[in-house]
Structure 1
């Protein structure tokens, strides 16, 4: 079992959770999605993230999904989202995930945290709940959680909790935070891995600032793989050219409340999942929106051929 570390880099696809039209988990599609992510170049997979509709599941379903993907991935590192309002749920799912062979767990802050002191205390307690030595990914996604973690607070949390080995960076605007975290390392704070979410928005810029890769569910893993690879080689111009071909779809996904519907529609079009269905509350795209996505993808494919 490969555990996450501060040296982890590459692409971790945030997996969708496929459902049938009645809202039951479609495990055949989940298997295909796992294979798809890895075949297209994902270093690992993250399950039960916010885009995996984790809040819509009971604990037993979450455990079953984690087990299924870990077994299917055949040794590739799997991160399990264990975010929950209460620490007891974090502790229970963390233990089960790690016993199943997860590479680490991801924890976002609950929305009731209002002060820096509360945020710092929470992550100390959350790391304890996850279990000694369990690698933790800190998900910094204020636009969804409502919790704004300042750079100073973040650096304090990282200094106090060595098992936090990775930052899932989703603050927006947040490029200055990437720079500040790296500057703190130059000042003596231990290094961590930084993987970027937010649907890959600003990925080339974040890589140039010192990020180590991407952790997001954008349906074209090929883009994430290639942008990260070229950026790591120092060829930011080539990374940007590839990224720009996909940028209209990246931007379209940023519409509030629409991103997951777009993602599932694209994955269904690509033959990965059988249905674009989401669990209620949640609905798919209208016919007009699907036509817009189809047009964006057609232009994307044309541009990629031009780029070679």
Structure 2
């Protein structure tokens, strides 16, 4: 695994868990649960945390709440592991402000997704080039490639152009879907051209983690409510034991797949974290999904089957 503290870089690997943002049942920030959730992630052995991402409901937070969450998590972590902060915003001024605030508080780098509706390769490149220029070389950047949410396709050629032009771009969060061939193309074309190799951490709930590791991913950046599985799977792959890693992964796959559902997945993930004692409430800020009685029973059954299989 990568170093326990410091900035993210091209060699970063392991599990950077995407942290949920806990709210009380009345919708207000639950800072005690921010602390307990941070402790939960650390106890499960994660390499680092990523906060204020899309799963962290960042667009639903006020400016003051965003600062509060950053301060609370970074203080709780205390430099024990690196923390990446999501800074995506429609305004490039806000991206810069959030990035500099995050780094001043002790962040290890920032994650940036493109603004929606960029249509061409040149538009995508120009967007990221502007952000990288504004932030400068001192702030490490993780590119978030998540077209299912942003509607923006970041091509392999654009990724290579950005890596060549901006040394501060050190990581790709790979979430294209389907995207495993894209991951292979980034790795193979980069090696063939003698290009700088960057870190690639994968998302999409970790649904394809074994295959992605075999194709050259360095780890995961996702928020599955059993992060210890992601940690163990990545460690086994890095130890040269891919079959054992995939056997372990397969035990969790039914629950992981269930939690991955678009629309309702965040509510399922938060409810699982609540049941595991990591947070006090599974509340998702409006607009957001709400589980019904059947959803709760279904989730409980899958958790029970997992616990039986592990036992």
Same fold, TM-score > 0.5, yes or no: yes
Q: 1:248 aligns with which of 254, 273, 285?
A: 254
2:124 aligned residue? 119
Whether contact under 8 Å (1:82, 1:105) holds in the other structure is yes
User: Structure 2 CA distance, aligned partners of 1:304 and 1:238?
Assistant: 14
1:236 aligned residue? 242
Please list every run of at least 4 consecutive aligned residues from structure 1 whose deviation after the TM superposition is greater than 6 angstroms: none
2:134 aligned residue? 129
Whether contact under 8 Å (2:263, 2:289) holds in the other structure is no
Offset of residue 302 of structure 1? 1.6
Whether contact under 8 Å (2:136, 2:168) holds in the other structure is no
1:74 aligned residue? 78
1:161 aligned residue? 166
Offset of residue 296 of structure 1? 0.7
Over aligned residue pairs, what C-alpha RMSD do you find? 1.0
2:56 aligned residue? 52
Residue 153 of structure 2 is aligned to residue 152 of structure 1:
no
User: Structure 2 CA distance, aligned partners of 1:61 and 1:15?
Assistant: 15
Offset of residue 243 of structure 1? 0.6
User: Structure 2 CA distance, aligned partners of 1:236 and 1:132?
Assistant: 36
What secondary structure sits across from 2:7 in the alignment? coil
Q: Normalising by structure 1, what TM-score?
A: 0.97
| Runs (5+) with no aligned partner, structure 2 | none
1:286 aligned residue? 292
What secondary structure sits across from 2:172 in the alignment? strand
Listed one character per residue, the Cα deviations across residues 59-110 of structure 1 (whole Å, up to 9, x for unaligned) are 2211111111111002110000000011000011001000001000000011
Residue 33 of structure 2 is aligned to residue 29 of structure 1:
yes
Whether contact under 8 Å (1:95, 1:131) holds in the other structure is no
Whether contact under 8 Å (2:117, 2:150) holds in the other structure is no
Q: Normalising by structure 2, what TM-score?
A: 0.96
2:233 aligned residue? 227
Offset of residue 229 of structure 1? 0.7
User: Structure 1 CA distance, aligned partners of 2:110 and 2:215?
Assistant: 25
